[in-house]
Structure 1
């Protein structure tokens, strides 16, 4: 009988140890401060920033997001890169995006006007309510947000704006 009681006590003690260490691990985790938009045109810094912003806005998104990061306008062959990305975005929009997905648009610079131009052009022919249930994240300047919002709203997307300062 004593052996059974001892085994039960050991089992209870063994089960409670992982729970204690798990609580300690949770308290040790410190929430990382949000990244600030880079002030230069470093593509790696912008990729890290956009990735962090996208991850912070994933609520309600059930699939891998579609992220369109337009290079800085000073990039070599910018116009060619812009044209190819615009073609890709138009193709994705015309084909349709399933509900639960996210479309994220940003430029790898503090100039978001060209990225806004791309979004507006891509959504010019979008059918009304075709993208219902899709989240659209625009990362850019406040002065570009309203025209992007006006262009994408008829498609039925859930529009989210994050300002770069």
Structure 2
């Protein structure tokens, strides 16, 4: 099961849910393999440029004799940080822009998380679709003799459905 953080845009939620964003709290494989592409795809431009520069520096460091392992470790560290903490960075970036955290949902996949969230936030039914509740009238007219003689309350309804 994965935890999904539900974020709504600064201008509020729209009825169709198009301004609602679900961010999964899990490892990002694309962020691990190519950090700068994952950061750029999530519009974290400054961090994407920094990731490119750090990868170039790590590659240049690994060509210097005696620093091959240090360059590889720097590149691996960047990949691990982006894979594990990239989504946290995305959440912090969105909340700094005014997005509001609305809910945390645990679900097996994104479709289930969306279904759970939007079913919980559904508005009350409109008056046209609301269920009409019957009016119960308590009167002693038409009550069967069997119900009158029932002291224990075993027969609460008579045969025509009245109380």
TM range (shorter): under 0.3
Larger Rg: 2
TM-score, normalized by length of structure 1? 0.22
